Amino acid sequence: MASLTEKILGIGIASLSVTPFLVRCHTSADHVHVQLLNYIFFSQDVDNGGRQNRLLKYLVFFLDAMELSYYNIATMHSLFVMIFPCQIGLTSSMLCMAENGFQNGVIAKSFFAVLEFLIFIQGCAGGGYYMIILLLTGVIFLWIECETFIKRYKIGNSQQIGYRKVQIFEKLQNACTRDQIFLTTAIFISACQMLKLFATIKMLQS
């Protein structure tokens, strides 16, 4: 029978492993996400045209750097798994016990390294897509649209179409992030709480 701490650790690791799958799991195409990004990158605003162009340059540079970091960090993570296999907190630790000898085989180490690389890159790419590309980009441009509408309202040049534009933007933003980000964040936070509880129990036992 597994102890309470082992059950907590197993549930936490399983939750962390399922999270990347849920982030990338789609039952249909991302039509709303494409509409949001098209609206952002192809909309023209007279007041903020130059500002949006500068912001887009910085944002594209940031997104390229983030995408490059996904593969670099995932590769480094897989190398550490090759050198230090069967560490607590890794998915492979559930399959790699001290008595089965998996941690000593080159094939097993390579398999675990590839497994951890795939899980890590799925989590990074999926999380980056929703948290960085959609959420961060959408919030930035929603803030710009609100700022533009407020400025026009103060000078008496606001129109109802400007308010409707902000409303549509907000609805698109909510539709893009509500289903994927909220569910995944709830599972991820629960997994982190379980791992924190496991670490606390271990500290009290030591």
Determine the straight-line distance between the first and last CA of the chain, rounded to whole angstroms: 21
- Domain hosting 99: range is 4-205
Evaluate if residue 65 carries a pLDDT over 60: yes
Q: For residue 192, what are the contacts with CB-CB under 8 A and spacing of at least 6?
A: 12
33-63 residue pLDDT tens: 666 666 666 665 545 556 666 777 787 788 7
Residue type, 144: I
Using 50, 70 and 90 to split pLDDT, how confident is the model at 1?
very low
Average pLDDT, the chain: 70
What's the distance, CA 27 to chain centroid? 19
CA distance 202 to 206: 6
Number of domains into which the chain is organized: 1
Sign of CA dihedral 50, 55, 61, 67: negative
**Is the pTM for the entire model greater than 0.85?**
no
142-179 residue pLDDT tens: 777 777 778 777 777 767 777 777 777 777 777 766 66
